[in-house]
Amino acid sequence: MASATISFQPSAPAAWQEKPSQAFRGADPASEFEDANLHSRSSNAPVAPDGPDAFAGMIGSSEAIQRVKKQVRTVASTDSTVLLEGETGTGKELVSRAVHELSQRKNRALIKFNCAAIPHGLLESELFGHERGAFTGAIARKLGRFELADQGTLFLDEVGEIPLELQVKLLRILQEQEFERLGGTQTLRVNVRLVAATNRNLAAMVSDQQFRSDLFFRLNVFPIRVPALRERTEDIPLLADHFLKEYSRRMDKRIDTIPQSTVERLKQHPWPGNVRELQNFIERAVILTTGSILNAPLGDLKTPAGAEPMPAVTLREAESSHILKILRETNWVLGGPRGAALRLGLKRTTLVSKMRKLGLSRPVPGVAL
């Protein structure tokens, strides 16, 4: 049976009056949310090592997607923080659900929250809650996402959008599992497993002093890179067939064939919007089709200007490249007010350690690095 999964819409934040334990054990907790689907299950029920629906939606047989599934199985049984990295539309939310479904917390709630969907001024209240009278309009106590996810899993999407001033509080709750509501003085403790996701290069943001290095290291316990669709083109026929069946069923159409020429064209397209773009394209094709053979508008497959996909680089490569750039700009001076360590927001000893790990050393005069 599916675990409790709740997605919050910023336009309609939930104002909870009860304690988290009451919120999820009440007679009808799902009535608070239109899309909530809460089911009670015995905590003693046997759990299959790889639940039947754990990877639902993660369609594909490519080596790239199998590697992601293997990483999910490896980390799911722990309580360690997971950082999902990848371009927009690659399916990071599906990966977060798989981590939750294969964990010991699967009978508890999975709370999903998009940090980019809310103005920065409201983020603290949404994440940590607030007390009555904390600010104008706060007419009642509200529980934040961390409290709602107590004993369960919290999925923070677009974590790179959290402002610097709020990152300190996030770091504290990750390290100590404690916090105070906005406007409150009581220290609250929670037990939450965090899965964070981003489509930004957090290491580069750290170097640019746009993201705290200590928070980055705390989030980067177990990184999983979700591949772009162009990196697993062999999965495109399976995905296209899945979306064809789904939208044919929804629109009550009988479309059972995708021409091979169409499949080949789909595999050639770079898909800068990844799986989400392919899904929308197949939906449009189903709408346009009147017979049993998919009539795909292949002429629409044009990459918009400025949307050409960037070459894929690893986190290590990005970090090494940026550190090397700063070292050159500072003439390889590490410490002091004009040194590279200060520019990178690191301690000098930390920078030295990173340089050793990345194999960076000052070049011999006359030899280009």
Answer yes or no: are the C-beta atoms of 272 and 90 closer than 8 Å: no
Q: Phi-psi region for residue 160, left (φ > 0), alpha (ψ -120 to 50) or beta?
A: alpha
Residues 44 and 118 in one domain: yes
Percent of the chain with pLDDT strictly greater than 70? 81
Per-residue pLDDT, 313:
62
Q: Which domain holds residue 331?
A: 315-358
Residue with tokens 């990345």: 358
127 phi, psi to nearest 5 deg: -80, -40
Q: Which are the contacts of 325, defined by CB distance < 8 A and separation ≥ 6?
A: none
Which parts of the chain register pLDDT below 50?
Answer: 1-2, 8-49, 366-369
Residues 17 and 125 in one domain: yes
327-336: burial string, b at 16+ Cβ within 10 Å, e else:
beebebebee
In a domain, 308, yes or no: no
In a domain, 76, yes or no: yes
In a domain, 203, yes or no: yes
Per-residue pLDDT, 214:
95
Q: What CATH number has the domain bearing residue 155?
A: 3.40.50.300
- Give the C-alpha separation, 227 to 110, whole Å: 23
Per-residue pLDDT, 32:
33
Neighbours of 366 (CB within 10 A): 5
Q: What is the pTM of this model?
A: 0.69
Report pLDDT digits (tens) over 236-252. Answer: 999 999 999 999 999 99
Boundary-marking domain end, from 225, 253, 269: 225
Q: 124: which DSSP letter? A: H
Boundary-marking domain end, from 202, 225, 248: 225
Distance between alpha carbon 226 and the CA centroid of its chain, in Å?
9
Residue with tokens 């997605």: 7
Answer yes or no: are the C-beta atoms of 93 and 199 closer than 8 Å: no
Report pLDDT digits (tens) over 162-195. Answer: 999 999 999 999 999 999 999 999 999 999 999 9
In a domain, 309, yes or no: no
In a domain, 368, yes or no: no
Report pLDDT digits (tens) over 195-225. Answer: 999 999 999 999 988 999 999 999 999 999 9
